[in-house]
Structure 1
Amino acid sequence: MKKALQFAILFFFLSVHSQKLKSPSTFLGYELGSQFSRHHEVVDYYKYLSEEVPNQIKLITYGKTNERRPLLLAYVSSPENMANLENIRKEHLLATEGNGNSSKAIVWLSYNVHGNESVGTEASMQTIYELLTTKKDFLKNTIVIIDPCINPDGRDRYVNWYQQFKNAPHQLDPDSKEHHEGWLTGRSNHYMFDLNRDWAWLTQKESQQRIKIFNQWLPHIHADFHEQGVDNPYFFAPAAEPYHEVITKFQRDFQVTIGKNHAKYFDANGWSYFTKEVFDLFYPSYGDTYPTYNGGIGLTYEQGGSGRAGLSVTTGTGDTLTLRDRLSHHLTTGLSTVEVSSKNAEKLNEEFRKFYRNKNFKYKSYVLSGNEDNIEALKNLLAKHEIQFGNVEKGVVKGYDYKTGNTGSMAISENSMVVSTNQPKGTLVKVLFEPKAKLSDSLTYDITAWSLPYAYGLKAIASPNLVEAQNQNEIGSFAKIEANRYAYVTDWNSMKDARFLADLLKKGIRVRKTNHPFSMNGKFFERGSLIITSEDNKNKNGFLSILKEVSKTHKKEITNTSSGFVESGKDFGSSTVEMIEKPTIAVLSGSPTSTYRFGEIWHFFEQQLVYPVSVLGSDYFKSIDLNKYTILIVPDGNYETFFNEKQLKKLTDWVRNGGKLISMGSAIQAIGMEKGLSIKVKENKDSTNRAPKLHKNIQRERIKNAITGAIFKTKVDNTHPLAYGYDTDYFTLKLGSTSYDYLKSGNVAFIENNTKPISGFAGSKTQKKLRNSLVFGVESLGKGQVIYMADNPLFRGFWENGKLFFVNALFMVD
């Protein structure tokens, strides 16, 4: 009786207390939706809620952004569930082992992955308030996890920009400045990466920190809140085709269940919406697909608006779209998602357990061999996803050969690794490693090929049999450096080697490269191998200590040698063993460069290679003395008017005097206007007369000229410094149909006659256009060089095997 009375008093106190809970509008001091909230104000509101109702909210900081803003998660549920939160989590995860009897639905709501899709964070505050007040019943059997802002750096960039440029009062005219962000938009994070395409690749700080918590919960439902063009109605589930073939019938059906519930509310309010179009479930690195491949229901919600909308804007139909409108729509789908999950908690748990039962995939194991550094890099990625892997015993494995595209076999050693689908993350393994993802529709929203063996440049066999793993999840070591040796030698074939070299150059260590293969002490060293002699560094204080420290940091295998006399090849004193210059590097930024493509380069230097780079603004480029730099990188972009005759002359004069220009993507066309260069865009010679096409078929006709991110096999001249460390084949990720004729010389990686993609979709006309086309090449101009990169080796930071081409352009080509 006494306990019952205590509980009644506590319930009464909590009820009264919750009635006094401040709404976002009351707390912030302005009506929500009347202006944009800055990130620190959002953080303050969530902290306020956690202090006012600590028995219903647990607020954690799971990390910080590059600009030091906190990344938050709020766990929201009933007092009873919150008191038992850790046990609920553990019981839920038992389902991944085929056990457990959880009865709670786990719902994760993610907002503002794109910073200028700004209404999401505003809606998150009203959503959590409603869950704590008017919608408390949803929480009886549901744990709601809210990430109010995945991308605080991008969001504050947008909000601060808008505050600077909006009219007073704000202007509805879509031509007004407040509706036109500048070059550096708020969409992406600090490094201009799209965080909604980084779930699988984990290149960004925000993604790496978030995935640790995500794997601790593996929610039943993950909803990702976005915005699209101003004139678009609201999009919600079900998603468009193609659905990846691993997506279960229940996952498909539940998309419909959720969509119908949303439609009920939108219909009642007369709000416009669409489903089953545009936004598919295929590419694995989205906020909807990645959770789906981990057993949940991944959802994308798209509200019309984005950075163009501001606080309100006149649409193409003459209507007015306000921030309050956008907020109401996201609030509705957010609450509807929790409602449906609560009503279907039992079914969600039942189907989640089913998802984690062993599946009869065609390939049971993926066995990989080759570059040990690339294998180690792949292991590091898999470990972040909590995917199990291991080494294998010596022998031979048979199955699908990634290199030939046919059935074949491969000799394996104890350094080979295997990743099996017979594990909790087996479905994700199948998606990330499959040679060819099956497309139900070639009209897709993103790339159609990403297979990790190609991305990491490894020989691989997809085996229909289960190959047992040894030494599970172990990651390798390095050798010691001995004193008083003539030289120290190491190989060159990976990003680990690149970081090692960059670190040495920054610390003032002089390093040579060999332009011919050689053997010494019974070991064979390919072109590009690094030679560090004691003589070259005799005047460097602490030389040996620095070398030891750097090799330990990068876990680098070093061969100690007492002589420069080689067993075969060129001795260390040969003119072919050249000193590597410490380059001074600059990259062009600002309009007309692509923000994403510039960001990839910026991130590569600062977070992957860890080597200094100067960022030059396009608005003052004409006043820069290029002679300060030995290398200039021009990212992909639209340079039709930027490189006028005067600018192009300045650039090419610098090259002629010894500069090195790295031209990427469509920048090649602008640079190619220089008369002294032979680079030419391939012409489309298809002049066949064709019958008129039906209007309804126009979109499908267009894709004959398109590539939706497909993998092609290229030939490589690995005797050229741009290709040091590579085999004679390279698998490139091609993202567009623009192609270039072979150069007169310096064709380093190129596509020959066979242009059928080894994985992914490419239109029939595009395939013809790619015949005999350049991928990477080098052309001399006076004393300098122009390096062409038609394909992007740094795309989204995940194509590991392409990065060494870029590094070779920096350090090996001279």
Structure 2
Amino acid sequence: MNRIILAFLIGFSTFLSAQTIKSPSEFFGVALGEEFHLHHQVIDYYNYLAEVAPDRVKVSQYGKTYEKRPLLLVYVSSASNLSNLENIRKEHLNNINGSSSAKKAIAWLSYNVHGNESVSTEASMLTIYKLLTENSDYLNDVVVIMDPCINPDGRDRYVTWYNQNKNEPFNVDPNSVEHHEGWLTGRPNHYMFDLNRDWAWLTQIESQQRIKLYNQWLPHIHVDFHEQGVDAPYYFAPAAEPYNEVISEFQRNFQMEIGKNHARYFDEKGWLYFTKEVFDLLYPSYGDTYPTYNGSIGMTYEQGGSGRAGLGVITSNRDTLTLKDRIAHHTTTGLSTVEMASKNAERLNTEFRKYYTRNDFSFKNYVLSGEGDKIDLLSDLLDQHEIKYIKTNEEINGKGLNFETGKTGSFKQKGDQIVITSDQTKQNLIKVLFEPSAKLTDSVTYDITAWSLPYAYGLNAFASEKPISVKGNSDSAFKSNVLTTGAYAYIADWNSMKDARFLSELIKEKIKVRYSNEPFTIEGESFHRGSLIVTKLDNSNTEFISKLEQIANKHKVKLKSVKTGFVDKGKDFGSDAVTMIKPAKVAILRGEPTSTLSFGEIWHYFEQQLGYPVSVLDTDYLSRVDLSKYDVLVLPDGSYGSFMDEKQLGSLKDWVGNGGRLIAISGAVKGLEGEKGFGIKSKKSKKDSTSVLLPYAAKQREGMKKAITGAIFKIDMDPTHPLAYGYGSSYYSLKNNEDTYTFLKSGNVGYIQKETKPLSGFAGSSIQTDLENTLVFGVENYKRGSVVYLIDNPLFRGFWENGKLLFANAIFMVP
């Protein structure tokens, strides 16, 4: 009898609470879907819910964006679950090793990773309201974690733009300006990065802060809410092929079950949807794949609309798609997801445990060696993902797959090394991030097909099929410099971004620096090309030594003090081969026709990685800018087309001819060729006349023969050229375009000769033929200046660490 009374009281209390909770429409005084809400307004609503239902809603700030907007997680569950939240979390994590009896399901819902896919955050508010009211029974067995807006900077950029440009009332005519964002859309974050491609690489502050909380929960289910083109129907799981092979049978099957549950609700309403197309589960840095590789049922849900849709728009089918429609669809799939988690809590816990107990991978260890700076950089990323490793400098002997040759054999490695074993909690993620080549069940994919971290970090690597026993005995801990005034000069290596940051700060502090164009040996120690030399003669200020010491210790750069400029081998410090580094004044071009993503990569590189001042010039007023004030101009990737007309090319050629250095990335290179351009020339591909006879249905597959879907190639490098200082005779390049160029008359720094098969990832048979004898990186001297061609983007998504020193060379080393 007491139990019946208690159940009645709990139910009655929930009923009364539901009557007092305001819906989003009631709270804002405007029907949800009739306007967009700025981020601070959304926060107000969630804080309101935490105030009126504190037993069932908890709001927690986990960080801030680059523009200082708060990042929130909202926990919603039954009163008994929320009061026991920390114990539920611990029990869930203990379930990984089978030492718990976890019973609750954990469902994490992420909204608005792309800022102009703006329905997501609006739908999140209706979703939590319904979970607290009419669907509260779902919460008895589920803890729901909601991130209402992963990308507040992008969202507010879009909402502000839309409010400034929309008609009153809004206009559904797709030609009206409210349906046409400008060059800088709301999709990316402050630095124009796509946060939905940054889960694994963690280049952005939003990703870095989120991953800490994500690893504290590792939910059973993770949903990433998106929007796609205006004319597309709704997409939900199951995903398209290819699936990565670490994805379990249960993860595949449960996606199908969730999809069928969604379909039941959509069928009742007569709403259109599609599944098993377009959106695959391969690239590891998405909001569906990264959680999947950490044991979740990771899914993307895509609503038609995005930045084009506004509050309402006419589609190509002459239907009107409204924000209210979009909210209804996302709310339905969100609630359906939580419902499925609630009904399958026990099963989710059982299968989650199984996912983490498998250990059937062929490679038991990954052994990586190389520059200590690069090892440290990789270990920082592993720490963020809570992947365990051992650093060592003992000799390691073993047998394994050589990442450079693709062949298995014996190996012996010395020096700075890092060893990662597969026998640990994150074994599935390790396989995905470190395997030399992902297994492809389908070459038609949504993103790049290669990303293996040893290539991205420029490290030698072997994958061993047998466990390797090694002790952590690395003694490479940095020992602070203590500089004396009696030295003739101070020398630093040049082989990593750490050295580039060191140089950047020296320049900002007005300390003069030289670099050697030849290898040399002095006082028993050898140095490579590019080594930095700070002489006492160049820096007469008596305080420069203390500043130099402070900066070197800050960046953990070891300096060698020498008493003479007379070298044992090589060129003396007074030789023409030892060049003064000019404090370059750098500008980046932005605006149409540049790629926002490429511009963002460069902007972030200068401000957040290199720490070097840069001016941003917009194409709208470039013609009015006196370029003689700048030493370096960077052209991001893009489709330059008519922008690079005869007048524009003439202006750039005059500037370069007077001593400027032009750096062109990927698509920008195409804008510089031709009779009126510089010396770069496209390579003509061989035509296949039979392709016109292909059946219509075979066109896409046939087109893949000429496609590169983000593949890794080993290219030859000329290490004697300043653009390649700090590198050896080869380089791992991530190729994301099919553009091919012939060799320059001179200055061919990185190139592909006969070996056109990628080390990792997909490249079609025809494009492999076209790549033979083509340029990848080059420098063309033009009168008093130079043009640097970077056909492959060395800063791609900010995660291709091995390309970042190359870009620093383009800024500081290339004459």
By the TM > 0.5 criterion, same fold?
yes
Q: Aligned pair count?
A: 813
Q: Is 1:18–1:53's contact at 8 Å kept on the other side of the alignment?
A: no
Instruction: In structure 1, give the amino acid aligned to 2:303.
Output: Q
On the 8 A contact 1:236/1:273 being kept in 2, the answer is: yes
Give the conservation status (yes or no) of the 8 Å contact 2:364–2:466: yes
Aligned partners of 1:326, 1:10: CA distance in 2, in Å? Answer: 34
| CA gap 1:7/1:250 in 2 versus in 1, 3 angstroms | closer
Deviations 1:597-638 (A, max 9, x none): 111101111111111100001000000000110000011112
- Counterpart of 2:767 in structure 1 is 766
* Residues in 1 aligned to 2:133 and 2:202: alpha-carbon distance in whole angstroms: 36
Alignment check: 8 A CA contact 1:315 1:321 kept: yes
Query: 1:805: Cα distance to partner?
Result: 1.1
Cα gap change, 1:404/1:685 in structure 2, threshold over 3 Å: closer, same or farther?
A: same
Identify the residue that residue 549 of structure 2 maps to in structure 1.
548
**Backbone CA RMSD of aligned residues:** 1.7
Q: CA deviation at 1:10?
A: 7.3
What residue is the counterpart of 2:296 in the other structure? Answer: 296
- Letter of the aligned partner of 1:550 in structure 2? I
Q: CA deviation at 1:642?
A: 0.9
1:72 aligns with 2:72: yes
CA distance in 2, matches of 1:290, 1:259: 20
Q: Which residue in the other structure is 1:232 paired with?
A: 232
Specify the alignment match of 2:628 in structure 1: 627
Alignment partner of 1:356: what SS? Answer: helix
Q: Deviations over 1:457-501 (max 9, x none)?
A: 000001111123433999942441321222111110111111111
Q: Counterpart amino acid of 2:658?
A: N
> Which residue does the alignment assign to 1:471?
472
* Correspondence for 1:517: 519
Q: Secondary structure in 1 aligned to 2:526?
A: strand
- Are residues 473 and 607 of structure 1, via their aligned partners in 2, closer, same or farther at CA, if it must alter by over 3 Å? farther
Verify the 8 A CA contact 2:372 2:476 in the aligned structure 1: no
Q: Deviations over 1:322-378 (max 9, x none)?
A: 000000000000000000011000010000001111411011110001111111110
Distance 1:120 1:690 in 2: 42
Deviations 1:206-256 (A, max 9, x none): 000000000000000000000000000000000000000110000000010
The reply on whether 1:592 has 2:593 as its aligned counterpart is: yes
> Separation in 2 of the partners of 1:480 and 1:167?
64
Residue ranges of structure 1 left out of the alignment (5+ in a row) = none
Contact 1:379 1:475 in 2 (8 A): no
Q: Is the 8 A contact 1:358 1:422 kept in 2?
A: no
Range with bigger deviation, 717-726 or 7-16 = 7-16
Instruction: Report the Cα offset of residue 3 of structure 1.
Output: 12
Q: Is the 8 A contact 2:371 2:416 kept in 1?
A: no
Once the two structures are TM-superposed, the CA of residue 9 in structure 1 deviates from its matched residue by 6.3
Partner of 1:752 in structure 2?
Answer: 753
Cα separation, 2, equivalents of 1:596 and 1:327: 28
- What is the identity, as a one-letter code, of the residue corresponding to 2:259? G
Task: Tell me, in whole angstroms, the C-alpha distance in 1 between the residues paired with 2:133 and 2:416.
Answer: 58
- Summarize the alignment of residues 63-142 of structure 1 with structure 2, pairs less than 5 Å apart: 63-142=63-142
1:5-55 CA distance string (max 9 Å, x none): 899767655542331111110101100011111111000000000111111
Query: Which position in structure 2 is the counterpart of 1:287?
Result: 287
Correspondence 1:639-788 to 2 at 5 A: 639-673=640-674, 675=676, 677-690=678-691, 692-788=693-789
1:491 aligned to which of 489, 493, 510: 493
- How many Å separate the matches in 2 of 1:46 and 1:633? 43
Q: What are the within-5 Å matches in structure 2 for residues 448-463 of structure 1?
A: 448-463=449-464
Partner of 1:381: 381
In 2, the alpha carbon distance for the partners of 1:432 and 1:88 equals: 30
Q: Quick check: 1:491–1:529 contact (8 Å CA) kept in 2?
A: yes
Cα pair distance change 1:415/1:562, threshold 3 Å: same
> Relative to structure 1, is the Cα distance of residues 474 and 72 closer, same or farther in structure 2, using a 3 angstrom cutoff?
farther
User: 1:770 is aligned with what amino acid?
Assistant: L
Q: Cα offset for 1:691?
A: 6.6
Task: Give the equivalent residue in structure 1 for 2:507.
Answer: 505
C-alpha deviation, 1:557, in angstroms: 1.6
The sequence identity of aligned pairs, in percent, is 59
Aligned residue runs from structure 1 range 35-46, under 5 A: 35-46=35-46
Q: CA deviation at 1:506?
A: 0.7
Q: Deviations over 1:666-695 (max 9, x none)?
A: 211222236573210110123554571111
The aligned counterpart of 2:540 is 538
Tell me, in whole angstroms, the C-alpha distance in 2 between the residues paired with 1:108 and 1:9: 30
Cα 1:177–1:802 shift into 2, 3 Å = same
Displacement after TM superposition at 1:551 (Å): 1.2
Partner of 1:204: 204
For each residue in 1:366-406, what CA deviation from the matched residue of structure 2 results, as whole angstroms up to 9, or x when unmatched? 00011111111101111110110112431323211011111
- Is the 1:389–1:472 Cα contact (8 Å) retained in structure 2? no
Paired with 1:192 and 1:5, the residues of 2 have a C-alpha distance of 57
Deviates more, 1:325-334 or 1:358-367: 358-367
Q: Is the counterpart of residue 391 in structure 1 residue 394 in structure 2?
A: no
Match runs of 1:13-52 below 5 Å? 13=13, 15-52=15-52
**Greater shift in the superposed pair: 255-264 or 394-403:** 394-403
SS at match of 1:160: helix
Partner in structure 1 of residue 278 of structure 2 = 278
Superposition deviation, residue 4 in structure 1: 10
Q: Is the 8 A contact 1:58 1:76 kept in 2?
A: yes
Q: Give the structure 2 partner of residue 264 of structure 1.
A: 264
* Residue 573 of structure 1: how far off its partner (Å): 1.7
Q: Residues of 2 paired with 1:803 and 1:101: CA distance?
A: 47
Distance 1:447 1:726 in 2: 25
Where does 1:226-375 land on structure 2 (aligned, <5 Å)? 226-375=226-375
Question: 2-side partners of 1:141 and 1:562: how far apart?
Answer: 73
Change over 3 Å in CA distance of 1:9–1:302 after alignment to 2? closer
* Residue identity opposite 2:654 in structure 1: D
Residues 662 and 809 in structure 1, CA contact (< 8 A), matched pair in contact too:
yes
Instruction: Answer with 622-631 or 411-420: which moved more.
Output: 411-420
Q: Give the match for residue 803 of structure 2.
A: 802
Counterparts of 1:652 and 1:557 in 2: how far apart (Å)? Answer: 41
The alpha-carbon deviation at position 803 of structure 1 amounts to 1.0
Change (3 A) 1:473 1:243: farther
Quick one: distance in 2 between partners of 1:789 and 1:745?
15
CA distance in 2, matches of 1:8, 1:321: 43
CA distance in 1, matches of 2:7, 2:670: 74
Q: Which amino acid aligns with 1:88?
A: I
Per-residue deviation at 1:562? 1.9
1:164-179 matches, within 5 Å, as 164-179=164-179
Residue identity matched to 1:511: V
SS in structure 1 of the partner of residue 671 of structure 2: helix
**Is the alpha carbon distance of 1:10 and 1:316 closer, same or farther for their aligned partners in structure 2, counting shifts above 3 Å?**
closer
Q: State the distance in 2 between where 1:740 and 1:690 align.
A: 24
1:40 partner SS: helix
Residue deviations 1:35-86 (CA, integer Å, cap 9, x gap): 1111110000000001111111111010000111100000110110111100
The normalised TM-score by structure 1 is 0.98
* Partners of 2:130 and 2:527 in 1: CA distance: 66
Could you tell me the TM-score, scaled by structure 2's length? 0.98
- The whole-number CA distance in structure 1 between the counterparts of 2:762 and 2:37 is 42
Structure 1: distance between partners of 2:242 and 2:210: 27
Q: 1:107 to 1:687 in 2, by over 3 A?
A: closer
Within-5 A mapping of 1:187-198: 187-198=187-198
- Kindly indicate whether the alpha-carbon contact (under 8 Å) linking 2:227 and 2:303 is maintained by their aligned counterparts in 1: yes
CA distance in 2, matches of 1:373, 1:742: 33
Bigger Cα displacement from structure 2, 789-798 vs 512-521: 512-521
Query: 1:415: how far off?
Result: 2.0
Residue 573 of structure 2 is aligned to residue 572 of structure 1: yes
Q: In structure 1, the residue corresponding to 2:693 is in which secondary structure?
A: coil
8 Å CA contact retained: 1:95, 1:356 = no
Instruction: Work out whether residues 588 and 614 of structure 2, in 8 Å CA contact, stay in contact via their aligned partners in 1.
Output: yes
